[in-house]
């Protein structure tokens, strides 16, 4: 019975198929084929004289990762006006229906069958792959990550059950991808019958949740900081007046309409501008969020209901539930967790809101600018210049000067507040900020030998293998501390570590670091990341965890033992994505023993859960330190 069900035809139709261009620059040709969809396969056959001929191809349903329309090419002939694409594990197939009704029927049927497939795409290519490149984004690799959010994903993705952790083929990771729970009900009546964007589409489960009642609001976040005034300086507050009163928060807009919220957010115009407002349903709240991350130059505003689960916990993304609105907002200020972007910039309706350009900092972390003398420039980057400075005429410090417009207020506070919470001998010490006017200063300890990457290139040949391993061990210690404190660095590389006068190494550059509650962070669409240091789940799905940091640590070890060589130096980023996804890994550097190479190689398992933790890496590295030192002495 089951076999009959699996082989029974769901849909059959004569469609036009484009050749799959398995050679990058091969010409396109088009053939009429009889397509047959069953529960297990999509097959296509020759068709002549009203009879099905030999089968010319077949795609297993379980391997399909995306089914979606394709934007028309210029001067498309009449018979190819209704294209759609089938992206599967081993390739990309373009098919043309005879009319819109036929295309919609195939999309609906195929998407129904692939629902719950383990490796569905979050993003896809909306344009054809022609003459060796995608027309939508000009990427020249067929396996390149998509450039357009796939709207159907949120309804087709089904999270794995706990305990399901079977090995998967490359490049799919074993982590689940929690999506935000959006809604389609609007605050004002609408006559539009157009299906809303996927972030506003009804997910099914969300609408069945009971409306939540007003909760007592406790404003204590998990790491002990106070989340209520993330942009009012660096002091902690415990005022009892603040508890239970949403009006205190700069992101709470109260009783304003959907249209008014959109107007205010567009006026702000910043990626991640947001506010929380009362919904039209009494006792419920809506999060309104602005983003430029979709293909819209003007940006878009999305609206998300705050839902309640059976345990009376509040959530936007079902896997992330909280006791109060402030805790929920605080979490999503650090993690997009499936929304279009993080909640970055609170937009207030209060007339007395302090301008962000005035007095960004105060309290114990605010330093007196006049006490810092700038001595010489150490380097520069996209945010500004780093100087050697003298603090209070006696302490050497590094001063990161952030010029106006180069670093957002959100990015500045993210980096500074992260550094405040982290104190460890293998992390660069944070002293404070000068944030009351531009240029803003972030003041840290001065590390005399500078960037690890530059040091390896200029002095590496004079270092023994034991010293190289010691450097790796220092970084591993710092990262193990981050791991234990539930922080993900997200940009670990030799260029972001510093070498002190005694050759000890400290981890630095915490601009991308995030605090996480569950060892997982999903970045917002469009976020830049260093491809050659990134794990497969990062460049395919934007998923970060301590295990993606472990992957980067393996690359850093390779950098150290190759004395500062560029990883994958023969390949560009898109080629690296393909190679790594196919299972290729970096070769063993000449200075690395087989045992050391085995350690770095263990960091590059395609499944995050199969990679070691930093604590396990420390346990593997530490015994080698003494062994290598003894071997060098004997040698």
Give DSSP secondary structure letters for 186-228. Answer: -SS-----SPPPTTTS--STGGGSPPPPPPP-----TTS--TT
Q: Global pTM?
A: 0.51
Q: Given the structure tokens 């603040």, which residue do they identify? A: 242
Q: What share of the chain is helix, strand, coil (3-state, %, to 5)?
A: 30, 25, 50
Cβ contact 445:398 at 8 Å: yes
Active site residue 491: yes
Count Cβ atoms below 10 Å from residue 118 Cβ, excluding itself: 17
Count Cβ atoms below 10 Å from residue 529 Cβ, excluding itself: 15
Please, which residues have CB within 8 angstroms of residue 480's CB and are 6 or more apart in sequence? Answer: 613, 614, 615, 617, 618
pLDDT of residue 360: 35
- Closest to 560 in 3D by CA, of 529, 528, 599: 599
> What is the C-alpha separation between 628 and 471, in angstroms, rounded?
14
Q: Given the structure tokens 């019975």, which residue do they identify? A: 1
- Closest to 290 in 3D by CA, of 239, 251, 319: 251
pLDDT of residue 69: 96
- Closest to 307 in 3D by CA, of 299, 318, 297, 296: 318
Cβ contact 36:50 at 8 Å: no
pLDDT of residue 203: 30
pLDDT of residue 101: 94
| Strand 133-134 to 384-391 pairing | unpaired
pLDDT of residue 217: 24
pLDDT under 50: residue ranges of the chain: 1, 24-25, 160-243, 351-362
pLDDT of residue 417: 78
List the catalytic residue out of 491, 519, 549, 594. 491
Query: Please, is 385 exposed, middle or buried when counting C-beta atoms within 10 Å of its C-beta (0-12, 13-18, 19+)?
Result: middle
Structure tokens at 626: 């003494």
State how far the alpha carbon of 613 is from the alpha carbons of 433, 550, 559, in Å: 33, 7, 20
Cα 588 from chain centre = 29
């Amino acid at each position: 019975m089951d076999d009959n069900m699996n082989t029974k035809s769901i849909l059959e139709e004569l469609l036009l198929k484009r050749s799959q261009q398995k050679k990058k620059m091969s010409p396109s040709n088009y053939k009429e084929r009889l397509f047959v969809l069953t529960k297990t396969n999509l097959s296509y056959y020759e068709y002549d004289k009203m009879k099905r001929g030999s089968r010319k191809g077949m795609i297993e349903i379980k391997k399909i990762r995306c089914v979606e329309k394709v934007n028309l090419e210029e001067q498309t002939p009449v018979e190819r006006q209704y294209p759609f694409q089938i992206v599967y594990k081993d390739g990309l197939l373009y098919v043309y229906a005879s009319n819109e009704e036929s295309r919609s029927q195939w999309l609906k049927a195929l998407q129904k069958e692939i629902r719950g497939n383990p490796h569905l795409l979050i993003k896809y290519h909306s344009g054809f792959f022609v003459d060796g490149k995608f027309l939508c984004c000009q990427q020249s690799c067929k396996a390149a990550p998509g450039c357009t959010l796939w709207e159907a994903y949120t309804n087709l993705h089904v999270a794995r059950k706990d305990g399901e952790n079977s090995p998967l083929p490359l490049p799919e990771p074993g982590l689940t991808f929690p999506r935000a729970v959006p809604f389609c009900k609007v605050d004002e009546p609408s006559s539009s019958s157009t299906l809303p964007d996927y972030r506003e589409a009804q997910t099914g489960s969300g609408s069945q949740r009971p409306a939540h009642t007003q909760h007592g609001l406790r404003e204590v976040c998990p790491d002990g900081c106070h989340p209520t005034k993330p942009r009012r300086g660096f002091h902690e507050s415990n005022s009892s007046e603040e508890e239970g009163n949403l009006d205190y928060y700069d992101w709470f807009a109260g009783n304003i309409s959907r249209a008014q919220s959109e107007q205010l957010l567009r006026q702000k115009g910043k990626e991640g501008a947001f506010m929380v407002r009362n919904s039209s349903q009494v006792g419920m709240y809506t999060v309104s969020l602005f983003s430029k991350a979709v293909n819209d130059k003007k940006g878009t505003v999305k609206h998300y209901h705050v839902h309640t689960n059976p345990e009376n916990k509040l959530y936007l993304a079902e896997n992330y539930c909280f006791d109060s609105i402030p805790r929920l907002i605080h979490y999503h200020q650090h993690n997009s967790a499936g929304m279009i972007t993080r909640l970055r910039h609170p937009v207030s309706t209060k007339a007395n809101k302090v301008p962000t350009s005035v007095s960004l900092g105060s309290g114990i972390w605010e330093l007196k600018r006049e006490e810092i003398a700038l001595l010489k420039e150490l380097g520069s980057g996209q945010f500004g210049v780093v100087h050697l400075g003298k603090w209070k005429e006696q302490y050497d410090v590094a001063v990161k000067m952030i010029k106006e417009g180069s670093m957002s207020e959100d990015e500045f506070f993210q980096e500074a507040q992260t550094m405040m919470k982290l104190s460890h001998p293998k992390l660069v010490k944070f002293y404070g900020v000068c944030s009351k006017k531009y240029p803003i200063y972030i003041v840290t300890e001065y590390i005399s030998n500078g960037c690890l990457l530059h040091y390896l290139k200029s002095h590496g040949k004079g270092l023994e293998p034991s010293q190289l391993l010691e450097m790796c061990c220092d970084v591993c210690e710092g990262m193990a501390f981050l791991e234990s404190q539930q922080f993900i660095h997200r940009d670990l590389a030799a260029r972001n570590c510093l070498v002190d006068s005694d050759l000890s190494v400290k981890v630095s550059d915490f601009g991308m670091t995030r605090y996480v509650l569950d060892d997982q962070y999903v970045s917002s669409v469009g976020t830049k990341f260093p491809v050659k240091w990134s794990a497969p789940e990062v460049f395919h799905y934007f998923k970060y965890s301590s295990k993606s940091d472990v992957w980067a640590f393996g690359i850093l070890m390779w950098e150290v033992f190759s004395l500062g060589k560029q990883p994958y130096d023969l390949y560009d980023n898109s080629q690296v994505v393909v190679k790594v996804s196919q299972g290729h890994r970096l070769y063993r550097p000449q200075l690395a023993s087989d045992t050391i190479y085995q350690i770095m190689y263990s960091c590059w398992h395609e499944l995050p859960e199969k990679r070691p933790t930093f604590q396990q890496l420390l346990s593997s590295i530490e015994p080698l330190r003494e062994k290598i030192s003894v071997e060098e002495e004997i040698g």
